[in-house]
Amino acid sequence: MTQSRTPQQIPVVVLAGFLGSGKTTLLNHLLHRSGGSRIGAIVNDFGSIEIDAMAVAGALGDSTVSLGNGCLCCAVDAGELDGYLERLARPSTGIDVIVIEASGLAEPEELVRMVLASEHPGIVYGGLVEVVDAAEFDETRARHPEVDRHLALADLVVVNKLDRTPDADRVLDLVRSLTDRTAVVPATYGRIDPEFLFDCRPNEERVGQLSFDDLHRQDGDGHDGGDGHEAHDGRHAHDEQGGPDGPEGRGDHAGHLHTAYDSVSFVSEVPLDPRRLMPFLDSRPEGLYRIKGYVDFGPHDPVNRYAVHAVGRFLRFYPEPWGPAEERRTQLVLIGSGIEAAALAKELQACESDAPHADERGMWGVLRYVRDPDDEAVEAVDAVDAVEEA
């Protein structure tokens, strides 16, 4: 089962949340602290005056695709969305990640379905991020009971504006109780580490391109957004100065916390047994949001290594031929919030197997998540259905 190496697919992140939760502020933060990565945005506003689109237009320029006339999920069908995604995914744009900022009135599951149903081979689902206003959470639930369903569907929940509520711990515990082992991230001013959502590329990889981080340094800001995180304790001080980036952006933001992520790196010279690895991937622990890297399945497929892309409940493998002189090993990075590094490493070590012979059916579980390039069906839609039925 040999395949040519798959070109890097661009993750498409759906950013959702009720009106006023801070989605545009979070998006602006990502734009200015992308670590050298280029973000393409599909900004959707409800109403004829596109305030949110104007708020990010200065940051993205031609990479912004603004959609008016109501909710994205109502006004644009899957075919039209493909057109917007195709525009941003063109190699000439140099885009590394696409963010769809939905209207506060949009239905997240419909947006997820549209992304999963996309026929564009250059993109891949990058997760549903639900933004919650901590200060107004109780009132939001009273007005919009469907928020509980949205939280159950989310791959990552950002509990924003924690500085504006006197009982932050109670709100965080309540939100966690409404999710299905989903990573729940506390934030103020929409500031979370971009590595939660995508891989930040070093500025040096962008020859001839001036990134937003470069612009900040030229202005004397001095903060380098491309932090080389390995493992974090949840938060770290952020030295960014405030600016007019959305409703929460008023005033001086110096010293505000920028929520970081926890990560676990796992490297093994011993092949992994697919029958042992799949139960781990199918029942990921609470707080684990992303898994990336490569797996060596040894005698189960001696020709290929398997690139892993896991976000929330979404999982996909990409078989790629080993290079002639390439060292065969498994290399994985697990990213989340509040994850137990030692426990995760122990579970992965338990997947190791140096057995010289392969179980002929051992790869069946893995192959379920290998997308046939000629098959447009996207198996991850089943994950949305499963949440809705739960």
Residue pLDDT, tens place only, 308-337: 999 988 999 999 999 988 899 999 999 888
pLDDT at residue number 195: 84
Buried b / exposed e across 229-247, counting CB within 10 Å, b at 16+?
Answer: eeebeebeebebeeeebbe
Residue 85: which residues within 8 A CB-CB, separation 6 or more?
12, 42, 98, 118, 120, 123
Nearest 5°: the CA angle 286, 141, 66 is 85
Top-confidence residue, 268 or 4: 268
* CA atoms 69, 70, 72, 77: torsion sign: negative
Q: What is the pLDDT of residue 267?
A: 93
Q: What is the pLDDT of residue 352?
A: 95
Looking at per-residue pLDDT, the higher value among 6 and 296 belongs to: 296
> Would you say how long the chain is, in residues?
390
Q: Inform me whether the pLDDT recorded for 82 exceeds 50.
A: yes
Paired residues of 311 in beta bridges = 290, 314
Greater confidence (253 vs 291) lies with 291
Q: What is the pLDDT of residues 226-245, one digit of tens each?
A: 333 333 333 322 323 233 33
pLDDT at 216: 39
Question: How much is the average pLDDT of 90-119?
Answer: 84
**Range with lowest mean pLDDT among 35-39, 135-139, 204-208, 372-376:** 204-208
**R_g (Cα) of the chain, nearest Å:** 21
Give the span between the Cα atoms of 335 and 368, in whole angstroms.
Answer: 23
DSSP state letters, 6-26: PPPPEEEEEEE-STTSSHHHH
Q: What percent of the chain has pLDDT over 70?
A: 69
Structure tokens at 240: 């960014």
Say which DSSP state 370 is in.
B
Q: Is the pLDDT of residue 275 over 90?
A: yes
What is the average pLDDT value for the chain, to the nearest integer? 75
| pLDDT: which is higher, 162 or 199 | 162
- The reported pLDDT for the residue numbered 4 is 38
pTM (2 d.p.):
0.72
Query: Could you report the per-residue pLDDT of 38-73, keeping only the tens digit for each?
Result: 888 887 665 555 566 666 766 666 666 665 555 555
Helix (H, G, I), strand (E, B), or coil: what is residue 238? Answer: coil
> Can you list the positions of beta strands (E) in 242-323?
257-259, 262-268, 288-295, 304-311, 314-321
* pLDDT at residue 76 in the model: 64
Assigned token pair, 17:
């949340």
Q: Torsion-angle region of residue 2: left (phi > 0), alpha (psi -120 to 50) or beta?
A: beta
For 127, phi then psi, to 5°, come to 110, 155
Q: Is the pLDDT of residue 75 over 80?
A: no
Grouping H, G, I as helix, E, B as strand and the rest as coil, residue 259 is: strand
CB 274 within 8 A of CB 363: yes
Q: Look-up: residue for tokens 């189960």?
A: 300
Instruction: Say if residues 197 and 261 touch (Cβ distance below 8 Å).
Output: no
Percent residues over pLDDT 90 in the chain:
35
Residue 142 has φ and ψ, to the nearest 5°, of -70, -40
Q: How many CA atoms lie within 13 A of 371 on its CB side?
A: 26
Instruction: Find the helix or strand (DSSP H, E) in which 213 lies.
Output: helix 212-218
Q: What is the mean pLDDT of residues 345-374?
A: 87
For the ranges 174-188, 229-243, 257-271, the one whose mean pLDDT is highest: 174-188
Q: What per-residue confidence (pLDDT) applies to 142?
A: 92
